[in-house]
Amino acid sequence: MSLLSTRGLSKHFAGLHAVRAVDFDLPEGQIRALIGPNGAGKTTFVGMLCGRIVPSAGSVIFDGRDISHLPAHRRIRLGMAYTFQITSVFAGLGVAENVALAARRRLRGAREVARAVAAALDRVGLGDRHDQVAGDLSYGHQRLLEIAMGIVQAPRLLILDEPTQGLADSEIAAFKALIRDLSATTTILLIEHNMSVVMETADMVTVMNSGEILAEGTPVEIHADPAVQAAYLGTG
């Protein structure tokens, strides 16, 4: 059964069709990569999934429920968590307090929150930066902090938008391991330009181009698809 689906999902801005009638299905427990050239409509599509952008037409269904017009905070309560291309950490707060703010959406006891925060920071490799001010972290580490803020909510669906941007090679390797570990309990939608991350972590890949789905398949199938090579991989 699909945890997340869209039917005819569309968005246009003053005559520009950013997303055109997209039908999309993400089964529970899957790691799905969403790729495509710049301007393909990926960010707009994800914005509609998360509730930050109102669709012009179509529907978003989460766990069998039409959530098309629910605001973002209501979708979070249903079990969605997400990070964006531009970091949204609270720069003036400590690393642990950032994660604690997210943890308090589902946990109440101070000890419970503290344990969950420590566990989330350890999982993303920031356990030794507990007391550091978030704004002093490197850009890559702020991305990892955002992921910790998502993980600590124990979401059913975790949407990650360009999570490896700004990470060193060693951190990208650790990120791949983290995604495989998370997939045991969480469905993951990964918007990513790093093809080694896509090829090594995704179960299935959806390719967008010009606001539409160009192709879907396994990483091997997508890598061999002539239409994808021409539109995105640059080998056509």
Specify the CATH number for the domain of residue 212.
3.40.50.300
- Same domain as 212, residue 190: yes
Please compute the mean of the pLDDT values over residues 2-24 and round it to a whole number: 95
119 in Cβ contact with 111 (< 8 Å): no
- Same domain as 166, residue 217: yes
> pLDDT tens, 100-118?
999 998 898 999 999 999 9
Q: Which of 169, 129, 165 is nearest to 148 (CA)?
A: 129
Question: Is residue 46 classed as helix, strand or coil in its secondary structure?
Answer: helix
Of the residues 104, 129, 154, the one at which a domain ends? 154
- pLDDT value at position 41? 94
Of the residues 113, 138, 154, the one at which a domain ends? 154
- Same domain as 161, residue 107: no
C-alpha–C-alpha distance, residues 191 and 92, integer Å: 28
**Which domain, by its residues, includes 131?**
91-154
> pLDDT tens, 164-210?
988 999 899 999 999 999 999 999 999 998 999 999 999 999 999 99
- Same domain as 72, residue 99: no
- Same domain as 179, residue 223: yes
Confidence band of 15 (pLDDT split at 50, 70, 90): confident
Task: Output the pTM of the full model.
Answer: 0.91
- Same domain as 150, residue 54: no
162 in Cβ contact with 132 (< 8 Å): no
- Residue with the two structure tokens 């939608």: 189
- Same domain as 16, residue 70: yes
Whether residue 139 lies inside any domain: the answer is: yes
Domain count, the chain: 2
What CA dihedral angle connects 66, 183, 83 and 150, to 10 degrees?
90
Q: Are strands 204-209 and 80-83 parallel, antiparallel or unpaired?
A: unpaired
Residues 6+ apart with CB under 8 A from 54: 48, 69
- pLDDT value at position 87? 62
- Same domain as 48, residue 18: yes
